[in-house]
Amino acid sequence: MIGKSFANVFCMLALLGGRTLRSKALELKQRVAADQAAMTPHYVGSVVCKSCQAEIYARWKKTPMANVVRDPRENPGVTLPDLAKPDPLVRITKDQITLVYGSIWKQRYFTKIGDDYFVFSAQWNVRTASRAAHS
């Protein structure tokens, strides 16, 4: 009788242990996949640098390179020309602009359709304060 009880207990432990082992194996596999994803090189953005390099980041943030592409919704004054004035070269409105590229020599304007960005055919020449067709 003891032998039979031992066999039953052993079988129960094996069955329960098997489930536990499977769930542990799955958990381990998921953790390994997450660790691999975390170690895969990918762009994290410049804001990540701010936490360790606050002084350098603050100085860099004011440079033209840091501000070459800007979102006009986050920076309302970034679009230089007055798009409310009629112009045959520019048939866009501020509402259509998703990104503004440039601020020193020329500005170009992008719109987003789906997951893609498209450049408008007009640009603003900063130095001459005039509009021109994008070439």
25-34 pLDDT, tens digit each: 778 788 877 8
Q: Identify the pLDDT of residue 59.
A: 93
Q: Where on the phi/psi map is residue 102: left (φ > 0), alpha (ψ -120 to 50), or beta?
A: left
- List, for residues 40-56, the tens digit of each pLDDT value: 887 777 888 888 889 99
CB within 8 Å of 53: residues ≥ 6 apart: none
- Determine which of 1-15, 25-39, 58-72, 92-106 has the lowest per-residue pLDDT on average: 1-15
Domain ranges (residues) in the chain: 1-40, 68-133
